[in-house]
Amino acid sequence: MRTRMRWVWAVVGLAVIAAACAPNAQQDSLNPQGPYADKVYDLFVPVFWIATAVFVVVEGLLIFFVIRYRRRKNRPAQMPPQIHGNNRLEIAWTILPALILAGVAVPTVTTIFDLAREPEGNALEVNVMGHQWWWEFDYPAEDINTANELHIPTGRPVLLTLCAVGLGYEDKPTPSDCQPGPPDGDQPAAIGDGVIHSFWVPELAGTQDVLPGQANTLLIQADRPGRYSGQCKEFCGLSHAYMKFAVVAHAPDDYEAWVRNEQADAVTPDPGSLAATGMDVFLNGQCIACHAVQGLEDANGNPVVANGGPNLTHFADRECFAGCWLPTDDAEELARWLDDPAAVKEGSWMPDYGLTPEEIDALVAYLHSLT
Amino acid sequence: MASVSVPSDGSTRGLFRRPAATTGFWSWLTTVDHKKIGILYGVTAFAFFIIGGSEALLIRLQLAQPNQELLSPSVYNEVFTMHGVTMVFLVVMPLSAAFINYLIPLMIGARDVAFPRLNAFSYWAFLFGGIFVYSSWFLGGAPNGGWFGYAPNAVLDPTRGMTFYAIGLLMTGVASTVSAVNLAVTILNMRAPGMTLFRMPVFVWMSLVVQFLLAFSLPIISVALFELLFDKRFGTHFFDSVAGGDPVLWQHLFWLFGHPEVYILVLPAMGIVSEVLPVFSRKPLFGYQFVVFSGIAIGFIGFGVWVHHMYAVGLGPIANTAFGISTIIIAVPTGVKIFNWLGTMWKGDLTFPTPMLFSIGFVSMFIIGGLSGVTHSVVPSDYQQTDTYYVVAHFHYVLFGGAIFGLFAGMFYWWPKAFGRKLSEGLGKVSFWTMLVGFNLTFGPMHILGLQGMPRRIQTYPEELGLTFYNLVSTIGAFTIALSVLLFLANVVITHRKPRGAEADPWDARTLEWLTTSPPPEHNFDEIPRVHSLDEAWHRKYAETEGGAVVPVPAGGSGVAVEHAGGHEGGHGIHLPSPSYYPLVASIGMFVLGYGVIFSWLLAGAGAVIMLAGFYGWALEPSAE
Amino acid sequence: MQESAAVHAFESEHEATSTGLPNTKLAMWIFLASDVLLFGALITSYVVYRGRSIVGPYPNDVFDIPYTSVSSFVLLASSLTMVLALSSVQRGDLPRLRLWLLATALLGLTFVGGQVYEFTTFYEEGLSLTTNLFGTTFYVLTGFHGTHVAIGILMLLTLFSLSFGGRITQRDSLTVELVGLYWHFVDIVWIVIFTVVYLVPTGP
Residue B625: predicted pLDDT: 57
Q: Does B566 touch chain C (CB under 8 A)?
A: no
Res. B13: pLDDT tops 50: no
Mutate to test the interface with A, among B293, B384, B476 (most CBs of A within 10 A): B384
Identify the band that residue A168 occupies on the pLDDT scale cut at 50, 70 and 90. low
Mutate to test the interface with B, among A5, A67, A73, A108 (most CBs of B within 10 A): A108
Residue B2: predicted pLDDT: 38
pLDDT in tens, B241-283: 888 888 899 999 999 999 999 999 999 999 999 999 999 999 9
Q: What is the dihedral of CA B200, B201, B203, B206, to 10 degrees?
A: 40
Contact between residue B328 and residue B239 where contact means Cβ atoms under 8 Å apart: no
How close is the nearest chain C Cα to the Cα of A289, in Å? 29
Res. A183: pLDDT tops 60: no
Averaged pLDDT, B394-417: 97
Residue A120: predicted pLDDT: 78
pLDDT in tens, C48-102: 999 888 888 999 899 999 999 999 999 999 999 999 999 999 999 999 999 999 9
Contact between residue B336 and residue A90 where contact means Cβ atoms under 8 Å apart: yes
Averaged pLDDT, A282-287: 89
Averaged pLDDT, B556-563: 43
Hey, what amino acid is at A302? Answer: N
Cross-chain CB nearest to B242 (options A58, A94, A188): A188
Average pLDDT of chain B is 91
Identify the band that residue A61 occupies on the pLDDT scale cut at 50, 70 and 90. very high
CB count within 10 Å of CB B141 equals: 19
Residue C202: predicted pLDDT: 67
Please provide the size of chain A in residues: 371
Chain C residues in contact with A184 (beta carbon < 8 A): 204
- B351: region left, alpha or beta (phi > 0 left; psi from -120 to 50 alpha): beta
pLDDT in tens, A66-113: 999 999 887 776 788 888 888 899 999 999 999 999 999 999 999 999
Res. B89: pLDDT tops 70: yes
Chain C residues in contact with B119 (beta carbon < 8 A): none
Q: Does A184 touch chain C (CB under 8 A)?
A: yes
List phi, psi (to 5°) of A37: -70, -35
How close is the nearest chain C Cα to the Cα of A165, in Å? 18
Nearest-by-CA chain B residue for A193: B242
Averaged pLDDT, C191-199: 95
Q: Does A214 touch chain C (CB under 8 A)?
A: no
Identify the band that residue C165 occupies on the pLDDT scale cut at 50, 70 and 90. confident
Contact between residue A80 and residue B281 where contact means Cβ atoms under 8 Å apart: yes
Mutate to test the interface with B, among A196, A232, A320 (most CBs of B within 10 A): A196
Contact between residue B171 and residue B85 where contact means Cβ atoms under 8 Å apart: no
pLDDT in tens, B316-331: 999 999 999 999 999 9
Q: What is the C-alpha separation between C182 and C32, in angstroms, rounded?
A: 7
Residue B62: predicted pLDDT: 97
Nearest-by-CA chain C residue for B214: C34
Mutate to test the interface with A, among C48, C53, C54 (most CBs of A within 10 A): C54
Hey, what amino acid is at A291? Answer: H
List phi, psi (to 5°) of A294: -65, 130
Cross-chain CB nearest to A185 (options C51, C52, C55): C55
Averaged pLDDT, A287-312: 88
Q: Which chains touch B (3 or more CB pairs under 8 A)?
A: A, C
How close is the nearest chain B Cα to the Cα of A33, in Å? 14
Identify the band that residue A3 occupies on the pLDDT scale cut at 50, 70 and 90. low
Identify the band that residue B85 occupies on the pLDDT scale cut at 50, 70 and 90. very high
Residue A170: predicted pLDDT: 53
Secondary structure, 3-state, B419-440: HCCCCCHHHHHHHHHHHHHHHH
Q: Are the beta carbons of C51 and A180 separated by less than 8 Å?
A: no
Nearest-by-CA chain A residue for B244: A180
Give the whole-number percent of chain B exceeding pLDDT 70.
93
- B545: region left, alpha or beta (phi > 0 left; psi from -120 to 50 alpha): beta
Nearest to C136 by CA among B601, A123, B243, A254: B243
Residue A192: predicted pLDDT: 59
DSSP-derived 3-state class of residue B567: coil
Q: Do the strands A124-131 and A158-164 form a parallel or antiparallel pair, or are they unpaired? A: parallel
Dihedral of alpha carbons B622, C2, C6, C9, sign? negative
Q: What is the C-alpha separation between B480 and B92, in angstroms, rounded?
A: 20
Give the whole-number percent of chain B exceeding pLDDT 90.
83
Nearest to A285 by CA among A358, A192, A368, A336: A358
Averaged pLDDT, A184-213: 78
Q: What is the C-alpha separation between B508 and B539, in angstroms, rounded?
A: 11
CB count within 10 Å of CB A300 equals: 5
Q: Please give the order of strands across the beta sheet that includes A124-131.
A: A144-147, A134-139, A124-131, A158-164, A216-220
When mean pLDDT is compared across B63-77, B566-580, C124-138, the lowest value belongs to B566-580
More confident call, A56 vs B573: A56
Averaged pLDDT, A284-290: 87
How close is the nearest chain B Cα to the Cα of C142, in Å? 13
Secondary structure, 3-state, B96-132: HHHHHHHHHHHHHCCCCCCCHHHHHHHHHHHHHHHHH
Res. B14: pLDDT tops 50: no
Averaged pLDDT, A202-231: 93
Q: What is the C-alpha separation between B378 and C100, in angstroms, rounded?
A: 60
pLDDT in tens, B204-220: 999 999 999 999 999 99
Contact between residue A49 and residue A220 where contact means Cβ atoms under 8 Å apart: no
Q: What is the C-alpha separation between A104 and B51, in angstroms, rounded?
A: 41
Q: Are the beta carbons of B375 and A48 separated by less than 8 Å?
A: yes
Chain A residues in contact with C53 (beta carbon < 8 A): 183
Average pLDDT of chain C is 90
Residue B544: predicted pLDDT: 78
Chain B residues in contact with C173 (beta carbon < 8 A): none
pLDDT in tens, B528-543: 999 999 999 999 999 8
